[in-house]
Amino acid sequence: MQERRDHRAVSDNSQQQGTQRVKNLDTAALRTVINAVDDIIFVLDAEYRLQYWNGSLESLTGYSADELAGKNALELIPEEGVAETKNKIADILDGATVHLRGKLQAADGTQIPVEYTATRLDRPEQTDLICGVVKDLTAYKKREQRLREQTERFELLTENLDEVVWIREGDKKQVVFISDSYERIWQRSPDELYEDADAFLETIYHEDRDRVTEELTRADTADLDIEYRISRPNGDIRWIHDTAKSVYNEVDESIQIVGIARDITHRKRREDQLNALHDVTQSLIEAESRSEVAQIAVRASDLILGFDKVGLHLYDAETEQLEPIAHTQALERVLGGEPPTFERGDGLIWDAFNSGVAVYHNEIQSDPNRYNDDTPFRNELHVPLAEYGVIVFASTSALPFTHNERSLAELLGANIRSTLRSIEREELIATQRDRLDELLGIISHDIRNPLNIANGRAKMAYETGDVTHLEPVIDAIERVESLTNDLLSLAGGDRDGKTHEQLSLDECVADAWEMIEHEQATLSVEDALPTVSGSESQLRQLFENLFSNAVRHGGEIVSIGVGTINDGFYVEDNGPGIPADVRESVFDMEYSTAEEGTGFGLMIVEQVVENHGWSICIEESKSGGARFEIRFGTQKTPKTPNVDD
């Protein structure tokens, strides 16, 4: 007992002052204070009997004061907690202060979560009393349960996210949470970050590490928004976009940093591909021929887009075929030779050409309309190049083309189309420029000569009074007039089809024949000619020039025939014909097979044909004369060699 009294005596000055203040309270006041406390305050004896309690015990358990008086406190403990409680009471009687979480059992059997704090109550007259405080944890447990449920939902949510969610303590720099996506993207275990937060920096690509370290240091005071590269254990490089915000406490201190890291490797690769395609577009713009365009396009498909089996086919209007103009060597190796030429309607490639829309064929081996029954390819993407042709991307893999691959291929196709149109315009401009140069040559020579003759003979007539000198003057003027009319026909005309209308070729033929002096010539129209979209004045000029050419070169009696052919019409005569070795040059400006005429007649015919997007060729008629065949199509496109990988 003396030892315990000595223990009570060892107290600091503040305890003595506090005790003195309590002594100044009377018993009634003290009881009022104790009963006002929400927590349970109790006193037990060594036999576990309740000696004192406040009203909170009655409120919490539902027992009355009479029921609690002298009650064994162990009866308020669920059976499974009695043994531990006894052990703790023994420790208390030995002088220990005990903190314990457990449960109280209410009068109705309800078990209430509580937290005990108890110690021995030393009094001079009694040393085996225990006093303590019991805190109701029901609200805390509910909050704890809600927090647990929220945590479970949070973890479930992050498990299904492609992004990595991470949480780091602001002051200790310790990682307190990282989602499972980290292992999938980084190819590393999250455990190493829980053990050492700095292990994260070791995953950063060495060229980005210092920059990321600096940004993470600033993340305590500013939002994080950064892109960087990481190195996987196998050496692969991935691009990451990381954003984070700080969480602050009530005194505005950063207590946590919450971030989301996204794998943006595909986006970065697409950006690189788009930049590379921009450079390719510049190369396409600088290309000078269809062949060069095809070579650049096929090479870009392989090196930039990753398609190694590519073929580019251009349309030949004369043969109505899609002919290979460029392809990769990988495609040739798989095919065992050069890509085929596709006849009209053969193979799926025509679907894209006819529709003008890219067509993707997945599992092409099962498509009944495939060109080759034994095709080695599983996937093909056919991208049309407008009226110019189709570029084909093929794969032997069962994996389908991704949306990104298809969109980039179509973007390249659009650039090819634009370039081919540009080259076509440049060729037209070059042709027109050459024609203008020829016109200037004619103006400076062919018109100047008759004007010189007219000038000289007119002076002679004026000086001599001899009117016979005027006849050559009249001839020279008529020659200049004829040249002028032909030059106007060549320089004018509707080249873009803006004034085209539906016309009957029969009416154009009849109108043109009325303009021809044909006393010794006959015209027969063997078939009903088709109705076409065209320029009335130009088509009438075309027939006039062909009829005039036949009359001029046909001899004494000329028979001219007009009729239809497959996708076009013809004009033929029974004259001497045109030798095969000069047929390609008769449309040249300077060519003329007779002393009469300007030499422009057939050139004007060719110009009208080109203005309508048609084609013309010269054959021999059945009677040995000239036969001009005009088809409603464009000129043949030349074939060019394949392109290496």
175-194: b or e for each residue (b if 16 or more CB lie within 10 Å)? Answer: bebbbebbeebbebebeebe
Asked whether 193 and 176 are in contact (CB, 8 A), the reply is: no
**CA dihedral sign of residues 457, 458, 464, 465:** positive
* Residues contacting 609, CB < 8 A, separation 6+: 542, 615, 616, 630
Q: What's the rounded mean pLDDT across residues 310-328?
A: 94
Other C-beta atoms within 10 Å of 488: how many? Answer: 10
353 has a pLDDT exceeding 90: yes
The better pLDDT of the pair 257, 309 is held by: 309
Asked whether 572 and 561 are in contact (CB, 8 A), the reply is: yes
Task: Please tell me the distance from the alpha carbon of residue 323 to that of residue 321, in angstroms, as a whole number.
Answer: 6
229 has a pLDDT exceeding 70: yes
Q: What's the rounded mean pLDDT across residues 225-229?
A: 94
Other C-beta atoms within 10 Å of 322: how many? Answer: 26
Mean pLDDT lowest among 157-166, 189-198, 277-286, 535-544: 157-166
Q: What is the model's pTM?
A: 0.51
pLDDT in tens, 151-171: 667 777 677 778 998 888 866
pLDDT of residue 641: 35
Asked whether 341 and 323 are in contact (CB, 8 A), the reply is: yes
Q: Which helix (H) or strand (E) holds 573?
A: strand 568-573
pLDDT of residue 1: 34
* Residues contacting 55, CB < 8 A, separation 6+: 35
pLDDT of residue 176: 86
* Helix runs in 287-387, H state only: 290-303, 329-335, 349-355
* Helix runs in 165-288, H state only: 181-186, 191-195, 199-202, 209-218, 265-286
Q: What is the DSSP string of 517-559?
A: --TTEEEEE-SPPPEEEE-HHHHHHHHHHHHHHHHHHS-SSEE
The better pLDDT of the pair 641, 322 is held by: 322
| Tokens read off for 222 | 């500013």
Q: What's the rounded mean pLDDT across residues 104-129?
A: 85
Please give the backbone phi and psi of residue 50, each rounded to the nearest 5 degrees, phi first: -70, 125
* Residue 443: band (very low, low, confident or very high) from pLDDT cuts 50, 70, 90: low
The better pLDDT of the pair 590, 305 is held by: 305
281 has a pLDDT exceeding 50: yes
Domains and CATH numbers, the chain: 37-136 (3.30.450.20), 142-263 (3.30.450.20), 287-425 (3.30.450.40), 494-645 (3.30.565.10)
Mean pLDDT lowest among 374-378, 460-464, 491-495, 548-552: 491-495
* Residues contacting 316, CB < 8 A, separation 6+: 322, 323, 636, 637
pLDDT of residue 597: 47
543 has a pLDDT exceeding 90: yes
Asked whether 455 and 324 are in contact (CB, 8 A), the reply is: no
> Under the phi-then-psi rule, with left for phi > 0, alpha for psi from -120 to 50, and beta for the rest, what region is 568?
left
517 has a pLDDT exceeding 60: yes
Query: What is the distance between the terminal CA atoms of the chain, rounded to a whole angstrom?
Result: 102
Residue in 304, 345, 355 with CA at minimum distance from that of residue 328: 304
Task: Please tell me the distance from the alpha carbon of residue 503 to that of residue 522, in angstroms, as a whole number.
Answer: 24
Mean pLDDT of the chain: 83
94 has a pLDDT exceeding 90: no
For residue 183, give the 3-state DSSP assignment. Answer: helix
CA atoms within 13 A on the CB side of 268: 12
Which residues make beta-bridge pairs with 112? 104
pLDDT of residue 240: 95
For residue 642, give the 3-state DSSP assignment. Answer: coil
* Residue 494: band (very low, low, confident or very high) from pLDDT cuts 50, 70, 90: low
336 has a pLDDT exceeding 90: yes
Task: Please tell me the distance from the alpha carbon of residue 35 to that of residue 27, in angstroms, as a whole number.
Answer: 12
Q: Which helix (H) or strand (E) holds 485?
A: helix 470-491
Other C-beta atoms within 10 Å of 642: how many? Answer: 19
pLDDT of residue 453: 83
Task: Please tell me the distance from the alpha carbon of residue 481 to that of residue 487, in angstroms, as a whole number.
Answer: 10
The better pLDDT of the pair 29, 94 is held by: 94
Task: Please tell me the distance from the alpha carbon of residue 182 to that of residue 186, in angstroms, as a whole number.
Answer: 6
pLDDT of residue 209: 93
Task: Please tell me the distance from the alpha carbon of residue 539 to that of residue 532, in angstroms, as a whole number.
Answer: 10
Mean pLDDT lowest among 86-100, 359-373, 494-508: 494-508
pLDDT of residue 584: 81
Please give the backbone phi and psi of residue 105, each rounded to the nearest 5 degrees, phi first: -105, 120
* Residues contacting 300, CB < 8 A, separation 6+: 276, 277, 280, 412
139 has a pLDDT exceeding 70: yes
Hey, what long-range contacts does 187-195 have (CB within 8 A, 24 or more apart)?
Answer: 187/232, 187/233, 187/234, 187/236, 188/232, 188/233
pLDDT in tens, 167-195: 888 666 788 888 888 999 999 999 999 88
